[in-house]
Amino acid sequence: MTPRSVILGCSGIRLTDDERAFFRDADPLGFILFARNIETPEQARQLTDDLRSSVGRAEAPVLIDQEGGRVARLKPPHWRKAPPARLLGELYERDPERGLEATRLNSRLLAADVASIGCDVDCLPVLDIAFPETHAVIGDRAYTAVPESVAALGRAAAEGLLAEGVMPVIKHIPGHGRATVDSHHSLPRVDASREVLERADFLPFKLLSDLPWAMTAHVLYSAIDAVAALTISARGVQEIVRGYIGFDGFLLSDDLSMQALGGGLGERAARALEAGCDIALHCNGQSKEMQAVVAVVGSMSSAASRRFEAGRHYLARHRAPLGTTDLADARKNLSSLLPEWG
Instruction: Convert the pLDDT of each residue in 111-123 to its tens digit.
Output: 999 999 999 999 9
Output the pLDDT for position 337.
Answer: 95
Output the pLDDT for position 342.
Answer: 65
**pLDDT above 70: percentage of residues in the chain:** 99
At 152, which CATH number?
Answer: 3.20.20.300
Per residue in 220-241, pLDDT tens? 999 999 999 999 999 999 999 9
Q: Does a structural domain hold residue 32?
A: no
Comparison of pLDDT for 260 and 323, the residue scoring more: 260
Would you say residue 322 has pLDDT above 70? no
Per residue in 266-310, pLDDT tens? 999 999 999 999 999 999 999 999 999 999 999 999 999 999 999
CB 10 within 8 A of CB 37: yes
CA angle 126, 297, 243 (to 5 degrees): 45
Q: Does a structural domain hold residue 57?
A: no
For the chain, the average pLDDT equals 95
Mean pLDDT of 7-13: 97
17 CB neighbour count, 10 Å cutoff:
7
Mean pLDDT of 196-216: 98
Per residue in 24-66, pLDDT tens? 999 999 999 999 999 999 999 999 999 999 999 999 999 999 9
In this prediction, residue 208 has a pLDDT band, given cuts at 50, 70 and 90, of very high
- How far the first Cα of the chain sits from its last, in Å, is 44
CB 129 within 8 A of CB 201: yes
In this prediction, residue 323 has a pLDDT band, given cuts at 50, 70 and 90, of low
Would you say residue 316 has pLDDT above 70? yes
Q: Does a structural domain hold residue 21?
A: no
Among residues 310, 291, 320, 342, the alpha carbon closest in space to that of 28 is found at 291
The one catalytic residue among 18, 184, 210, 326: 184
Looking only at the bridges linking them, the beta strands covering 167-168 and 121-122 are: parallel
Q: Does a structural domain hold residue 275?
A: yes
Query: DSSP alpha helices (H): ranges in 27-80?
Result: 41-55
Would you say residue 215 has pLDDT above 90? yes
Domain around 263: 68-288+303-337
Per residue in 159-186, pLDDT tens? 999 999 999 999 999 999 999 887 888 8
Mean pLDDT of 79-104: 97
Mean pLDDT of 104-109: 96
**Catalytic status, residue 184:** yes
Q: Does a structural domain hold residue 22?
A: no
**Catalytic status, residue 254:** yes
CB 197 within 8 A of CB 223: yes
Q: Does a structural domain hold residue 5?
A: no
Q: Does a structural domain hold residue 120?
A: yes
DSSP annotation of 260 reads S
The number of distinct structural domains making up the chain is 1
Per residue in 236-277, pLDDT tens? 999 999 999 999 999 999 999 998 898 999 999 999 999 999
The one catalytic residue among 128, 140, 225, 254: 254
Q: Does a structural domain hold residue 255?
A: yes
In this prediction, residue 78 has a pLDDT band, given cuts at 50, 70 and 90, of very high
Would you say residue 106 has pLDDT above 90? yes
Comparison of pLDDT for 253 and 321, the residue scoring more: 253
